[in-house]
Amino acid sequence: MTKAGSAPIACTLNPGDYKTRLAWIADLARDALRSQTRCDLQLELTYSVDAVQRVREMVRKEQDCCAFLTFHLEERPDEIRLTIKAPESARGAADMLFAQFLPSAEARAGCGCC
C-alpha cells in the first residue's frame, strides 16, 4: 500500500505521455476489469487474475506520476483487487481522476457510485 502524503494534486506526466498512459490503462480495463465500485473518494477495481503483472505495473507507474493518490493492491487466488483513494483536497477532480481507470465507454457513462 502506498500513502498519499502532502503531494500536490497534479499528474507529473507530460501531455504526450499522459495520453499514452490513458490509452494503456483503458486497454487494461477493457481486457481485464471485471467490476468497479465507487464510494465518494474511493474507487475499487477488480481485475481478472491473469492481468496481475499489468495491474502491478499500472500501480507502480501511477504511484510515480500521481503521488497524491493512495493505492492498495490485494492479490487473491481468483481476482486482483485495487483500491484507489483520493484525498479530500482532490474532491473537485475525483470524477475525472477515477474515470481514467475505466474503459472509455464506462468513463463516459459514469460510475457505480454507492
In this prediction, residue 90 carries a pLDDT of 92
Q: Give how many domains the chain has, as a whole number.
A: 1
In this prediction, residue 109 carries a pLDDT of 40
Residue 92 lies in a domain: yes
Residue 54 lies in a domain: yes
In this prediction, residue 114 carries a pLDDT of 39
Residue 1 lies in a domain: no
Give me the tens of pLDDT residue by residue for the chain, a chain 114 residues long.
444 456 667 777 777 888 888 899 999 999 999 999 999 999 999 999 999 999 999 999 999 888 899 999 999 999 999 999 999 999 999 998 999 998 864 444 444 443
Residue 3 lies in a domain: no
- pTM given for the model: 0.82
Q: Which residue has the cell 481507470?
A: 101
The domain spanning residue 30 has which CATH number? 3.30.1360
Domain containing 48: what range?
15-102
Tell me the per-residue pLDDT of 49-61, one tens digit each, with 9 for 90 and over.
Answer: 999 999 999 999 9
Residue 19 lies in a domain: yes
Residue 27 lies in a domain: yes
Residue 58 lies in a domain: yes
